[in-house]
């Protein structure tokens, strides 16, 4: 049992287990998550892409809001770390997507 599932069970929120598990598993899914039973999975995926792209992709969120969030929560070099990690992966595996990506 994952930590999230254990927490949900301990707090009487087991009904959220499947959706939360999908949110944890699918934030780097390349294509949209289309199961309407779990709408938060797609919202979480989109928000992750807004963060990853530094607001280049915004899904209609105003640029000013993205900038305000970035100012409130600076990344302290996290995007640099991601770029170095991705570059190292693609140098070694140029024809294979990184293992955290999902179709």
Residue ranges of domains in the chain: 3-74
Neighbouring C-beta atoms of residue 30, cutoff 10 Å: 10
- Mean of the pLDDT values across residues 2-13? 94
Residues contacting 90, CB < 8 A, separation 6+: 98
Position 98 confidence tier, pLDDT thresholds 50, 70, 90: confident
What's this model's pTM, rounded to 2 decimal places?
0.77
| pLDDT in the model for residue 78 | 87
Give the distance, in angstroms, between the CA of residue 38 and the centroid of all CA atoms in the same chain.
15
In this model, does residue 72 exceed pLDDT 80? yes
Joined tokens for residue 73: 């929560």
What DSSP character marks residue 32? P
List, for residues 38-61, the tens digit of each pLDDT value.
999 999 999 999 998 899 999 999
């Amino acid at each position: 049992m994952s930590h999230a599932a254990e927490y949900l069970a301990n707090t009487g929120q087991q009904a959220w287990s499947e959706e939360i598990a999908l949110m944890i598993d699918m934030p780097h899914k390349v294509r949209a998550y289309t199961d309407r039973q779990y709408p938060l999975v797609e919202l979480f995926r989109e928000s992750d892409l807004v963060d990853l792209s530094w607001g280049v992709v915004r899904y209609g969120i105003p640029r000013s809001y993205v900038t305000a969030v970035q100012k409130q929560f600076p990344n302290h070099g996290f995007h640099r770390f991601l770029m170095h990690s991705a570059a190292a992966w693609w140098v070694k595996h140029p024809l294979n997507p990184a293992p955290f990506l999902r179709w």
